[in-house]
Amino acid sequence: MSGSESTMQDFALRVPRLIDHAAREHGRREIVSHWADGGETLTDWAGIARDARRLAQALERLGVKSGDRVGTLAMNHAHHLVAWYGTIGMGGVIHTINPRLFDDQLVYIANHAEDRVLFYDRQFQPLVDRLRDRWTTIEHYIPFDGGPQWDALLDAEDGDYAWVEGPERDPCMLCYTSGTTGNPKGVLYEHRSTVIHALAEIAPAIFNLSSRSVVLPVVPMFHAACWGLPFAGALAGAKFVFSATNDAAVLCGLMNRHRVTHSAGVPTVWLAMFGHIDATGDAPQYLEQATIGGSAAPRAMIERIMGMGVEVKHLWGMTETSPIGTAGSSPPDWAAMSLDEKLDRVSKQGQVPFGIELRVVGDDGVEQPRDGVSSGRLQVRGPWVVQRYFKADAPAVDADGWFDTGDVSVMHPDGTMQITDRAKDVIKSGGEWISSVELENAAIGCAGVAEAAAIGVAHPKWDERPLLLVVRKPGSAVTEMEVRTHLTGVVAKWWLPDAIVFVDDLPHTATGKLLKTALREQFKDFRLAAA
């Protein structure tokens, strides 16, 4: 049945409908920006929509065409939000670049994307100055702040503009993943995938957003589309509080002044917030939900946030999944659970929302049962999951449409998913898998240990055995025997590392993940005493 013969109305799932809805139905709902210089500005959804139309006109004046990429190097603020909706609204593709990447990655990404315009925050001026000669496609460099350029760009336009229409499978946004090997890969989101993802994620089981929500996304807008919040927030008509700095004192002040109900960020945000609370006694007063993703939140962190009367939700996902893959929410029997049971539940990565399919496959390619024990590679498919990387020749999925996440996980009988490791980091000992992440987390629980990394090293009998690298806390003299004794009570006996080596520091990627490829290279000739 074609559109014209249809009995229900045509309605293309296009991103500009989100900003139109927000401006029309929640036009006075505020958008707060706390800038890098400490200043604070206020606009609302109607203002964002008005500026986005003017920016769309300005981009057309600059020669940007439908489908062209417009890059940003910026933290969270209203101008950045305007850049998203203005670029997408004129048919362009907004490309958020992570300023924390290494220079070579930044050069590769902007050139590969063929960005024609770059909007950036003044705090990244040194980076722009350094790389400008190496970026080959950027024609216009426009600072968001610290000068009259942004205002002048918009003030030249009247805002009398109709969004570009088109198929709902058109691209609208580009985000690159930075792996630990190879060049970054671009995930090109489509209007349809973005709108369906936004519809799904305002649900009670995920972000639980409505027009009474006040959202402070600590997660940067360059990190996996800010978890979709700038789209979902428009759909729900939420108030946003954006901060261009992640200083805990600033965040806590914003949360209380603007009665923030929802935060979203990586676990380290909360470590800093705990430090602020301990030092000042000043804590978020109105927070209802803390969403944590990017990496797993430690159990003690979850317990402390829950103790503040805040619901903690774990998200799992990746740039390739827009990014929501799973979200933790209260099960039907929540009220009857003990604190330990609740922490067990919340510590896992959550349940599968409608749209997403997950499966865990063993080394033999066979799907594992959902028994809470059988682990394997986590695969995913769904309407907001990557099919093919930007400019890639081959699909990113197998013949049945499954995308391999590179994570190792276990599915529990209640439908909860638990990440146990990255596939390339798992230690294969005698045909069984040892989770490097769980070993590391167990080691960090030992007094005096600041950071730990577990890698597999060759073993003639068991194939691989764990080597644990430990960084001591400043002033600590924790010994191998103390670490080993601690681990004995926490992990299975056959998981105990064959060797523990103290190091001064550990290598990390630009986004703060342990760089285990470098560790494996460094310790590839390490000989285990028992071997």
By beta-carbon proximity to a copy of itself, the closer residue of 7 and 181 is: 7
Q: How near is the Cβ of 165 to a copy of itself at its closest, in Å?
A: 14
Identify residue 133 by its one-letter amino acid code: D
Q: How near is the Cβ of 154 to a copy of itself at its closest, in Å?
A: 26
Q: 186 phi and psi, to 5 degrees?
A: -95, 135
Cα 233–Cα 272–Cα 297 angle in degrees, nearest 5: 70
By beta-carbon proximity to a copy of itself, the closer residue of 84 and 403 is: 403
Q: How near is the Cβ of 315 to a copy of itself at its closest, in Å?
A: 15
Q: How near is the Cβ of 91 to a copy of itself at its closest, in Å?
A: 12
Does residue 285 belong to the site contacting a copy of itself (CB under 8 A)? no
- Smallest CA-to-CA distance from 80 within 170, 173, 17 is with 173
Does residue 25 belong to the site contacting a copy of itself (CB under 8 A)? yes
Does residue 338 belong to the site contacting a copy of itself (CB under 8 A)? no
- Smallest CA-to-CA distance from 401 within 362, 357, 370 is with 357
Q: How near is the Cβ of 26 to a copy of itself at its closest, in Å?
A: 7
Does residue 334 belong to the site contacting a copy of itself (CB under 8 A)? yes
Q: What residues numbered 145-164 form the site for a copy of itself, per CB under 8 A?
A: none
Does residue 310 belong to the site contacting a copy of itself (CB under 8 A)? no
By beta-carbon proximity to a copy of itself, the closer residue of 53 and 381 is: 381
Residues 157 and 58: their CA atoms lie apart, in Å, by: 7
Does residue 10 belong to the site contacting a copy of itself (CB under 8 A)? yes
Size of the site for a copy of itself (CB under 8 A): 69
Residues 76 and 83: their CA atoms lie apart, in Å, by: 11
Count CB neighbours of 103 within 10 A. 12
Q: What residues numbered 406-445 form the site for a copy of itself, per CB under 8 A?
A: 415
By beta-carbon proximity to a copy of itself, the closer residue of 334 and 494 is: 334
Does residue 369 belong to the site contacting a copy of itself (CB under 8 A)? no
DSSP letters spanning 105-150: HHHHHHHHHT-SEEEE-GGGHHHHHHHTTT-SS--EEEESSSSSHH
Task: Answer for the pair 346, 312: CB distance below 8 angstroms, yes or no.
Answer: yes
Does residue 332 belong to the site contacting a copy of itself (CB under 8 A)? yes
Q: How near is the Cβ of 443 to a copy of itself at its closest, in Å?
A: 34
Give the containing element (helix H, strand E) for 339: helix 339-347
DSSP letters spanning 144-181: SSSSSHHHHHHHT-----PPPP--TTSEEEEEEE--SS
Among 86, 171, 184, 228, binds a copy of itself (CB under 8 A): 171
Q: How near is the Cβ of 12 to a copy of itself at its closest, in Å?
A: 9
Does residue 204 belong to the site contacting a copy of itself (CB under 8 A)? yes
Does residue 331 belong to the site contacting a copy of itself (CB under 8 A)? yes
Does residue 386 belong to the site contacting a copy of itself (CB under 8 A)? yes
Residues 144 and 36: their CA atoms lie apart, in Å, by: 11
By beta-carbon proximity to a copy of itself, the closer residue of 404 and 482 is: 404
Q: How near is the Cβ of 39 to a copy of itself at its closest, in Å?
A: 24
Among 43, 57, 105, 208, binds a copy of itself (CB under 8 A): 208
Residues 112 and 138: their CA atoms lie apart, in Å, by: 11
Residues 155 and 157: their CA atoms lie apart, in Å, by: 5
Catalytic residues: 177, 320, 428, 433
Q: 140 phi and psi, to 5 degrees?
A: -130, 125
Name the one residue in this structure whose structure tokens are 């496609």: 137
CA distances, 524 to each of 96, 457, 467, 471, 508 (Å): 37, 7, 11, 19, 18
- Locate 482 and state its tokens: 């103390």
Residues 240 and 216: their CA atoms lie apart, in Å, by: 6
The residue count for the chain? 531
Cα 470–Cα 410–Cα 330 angle in degrees, nearest 5: 100
Does residue 473 belong to the site contacting a copy of itself (CB under 8 A)? no
Judged by CB under 8 A, which stretch of 20-28, 294-302, 428-436, 514-522 contacts a copy of itself? 20-28
Which residues of the chain form contacts with a copy of itself (CB under 8 A)?
A: 1-3, 5-11, 13, 17-18, 21, 24-26, 29, 167, 169-171, 187-190, 192-193, 196, 199-200, 202-205, 208-212, 214, 235-236, 239, 322, 329-332, 334, 351-352, 354-355, 357, 381-390, 397, 401, 403, 415
